[in-house]
Amino acid sequence: MTQTSVVLIGLEPTLIDFSDPAYAAFPGMSAAKVQAGLDADVASLNALGYAAELCLVDFGETAEEVLRKTLKARSFDCVLLGAGVRLVPKNTPLFEKLINIVHEYAPGSRLCFNTGPTDSAQAVQRWFPPAA
C-alpha cells in the first residue's frame, strides 16, 4: 500500500514578526512555538502512516521558486496551505501566488487548510482518513 504524500506549506517562522498586529489572531506565538507545532504536525502525520514534509517559504522573495521546486521534486496527494499564509490579510497576494503554483504543478492534489500549527493532521484526515 502506498503512503499518502502530504506537503505542508507555511511561512518560515523566523521571518514572522509576531508583534505585528496582523498576527494578533495568534496570541502568544513565537517562531520557536510555530516551528515546534509544525514539526509535531509532520511527526504526527508520519506516525499515522502519511508521508509528510514541510515546505517553508518567505513572504515572496523566493516563495514561488521554493514551492515550485518542492512540487517538481515529487508528486503529492495532499497540499496543506498553512493558516499564517491564508488568514493574515496582508499575505493574500502570497496566498494567491502559492495557490496558482499548486494549481499548475500539483493539479491532482487535494487542498486542505489548518487553523494553526497544531491541527494539520485533522485537516489532512478530512480528505485522506487514516488506514484502518
Quick one: pLDDT at residue 23?
A: 83
**Which residues have C-beta within 8 Å of that of residue 119, sequence separation ≥ 6?**
41
Tell me which DSSP letter residue 84 carries. Answer: H
pLDDT computed for residue 29 by the predictor: 86
Q: What is the pLDDT of residue 115?
A: 87
Q: Which amino acid is located at 100 in the chain?
A: N
How far, in Å, CA of 54 to CA of 56, rounded? 6
pLDDT tens-place values along the chain, 132 residues long: 689 999 999 999 999 998 999 887 778 889 999 899 899 999 999 999 999 999 999 999 999 999 999 999 999 999 999 988 999 999 999 999 999 999 999 999 999 999 887 789 999 999 999 865
Position 107 scores a pLDDT of 96
Helix (H, G, I), strand (E, B) or coil at 38: helix
Contacts of 86 (CB under 8 A, 6+ apart): 95, 113
Is-contact 90 43, C-beta < 8 A?
Answer: no
